């Protein structure tokens, strides 16, 4: 069984080879045959082949994409990663949408599980897609909504406020 330090080395090497060098052969070798993707990219499958297909889609959308790994924490067979992807939307960040030609920095948090053979067996992730779409100008401009009729005429400190879908009175 690999140590947590060996697991961190596996993950940082995977990031460097796959996202830095666009080496999909490395991905094929280091993703386990029974790999499970929990953050499935639309149009792909939740397995090894789907993950590699998603990398191809990312690289077509942003051939200059790189990744900076900021932090890694390992315990047992899991590694948590905080990273930022940098690139240019030259192939369409959203499939089917035209490229914007703008650069982006997309933050991400991942957890991967390493199997007993030292391969990446599972991946969970959260990426700041909305923030990236904002950087690329792919979101509509925010609009300001007028106050509700119930709040009209009340001092701001006395207006009702919504908290988790419920209304409560303002605290003095």
* Tens-place pLDDT, residues 121-161: 999 999 999 999 999 999 987 777 666 655 556 666 665 55
Spatial CA neighbour of 122 closest among 53, 51, 38: 38
DSSP 3-state helix, strand, coil percentages of the chain (rounded to 5)?
30, 30, 40
Spatial CA neighbour of 110 closest among 97, 100, 120, 99: 120
Q: How high does pLDDT run on average in the chain?
A: 89
Query: pTM of the full predicted structure?
Result: 0.79
Whole-number Å distance between alpha carbons of 126 and 128: 7
Kindly report the three-state secondary structure assignment for every residue of 143-160: CCCCCCCCCCCCCHHHCC
**Domain ranges for the chain:** 4-135
Helix (H, G, I), strand (E, B) or coil at 127: strand
Query: Which CATH number does 4-135 carry?
Result: 3.10.450.50
Confidence of residue 14 (pLDDT cuts 50, 70, 90): very high
The dihedral through the CA atoms of 53, 55, 58, 60 has a sign that is negative
Whole-number Å distance between alpha carbons of 24 and 6: 21
Residue 41 or 168, more confident:
41
Find residue 31's DSSP bridge partners: 120
Which pLDDT score is estimated for 166? 47
């Amino acid at each position: 069984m690999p140590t947590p330090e060996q697991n961190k080395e596996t993950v940082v090497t995977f990031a460097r080879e796959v996202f830095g060098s666009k080496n999909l052969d490395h991905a094929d070798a280091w993703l386990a045959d029974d790999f499970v993707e929990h953050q499935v990219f639309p149009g792909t499958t939740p397995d090894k082949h789907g993950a590699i297909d998603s990398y191809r889609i990312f690289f077509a959308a942003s051939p200059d994409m790189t990744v900076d790994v900021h932090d890694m924490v390992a315990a047992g067979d899991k590694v948590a990663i905080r990273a930022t992807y940098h690139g240019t939307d030259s192939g369409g960040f959203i499939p089917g949408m035209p490229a914007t030609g703008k650069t982006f920095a997309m933050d991400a948090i991942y957890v991967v599980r390493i199997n007993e053979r030292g391969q990446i067996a599972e991946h969970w992730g959260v990426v700041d897609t909305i923030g990236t779409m904002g950087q690329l100008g792919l979101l509509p401009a925010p609009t300001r909504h007028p106050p509700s009729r119930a709040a009209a005429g009340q001092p701001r400190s006395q207006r009702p406020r919504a908290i988790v879908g419920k209304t409560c009175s303002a605290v003095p």
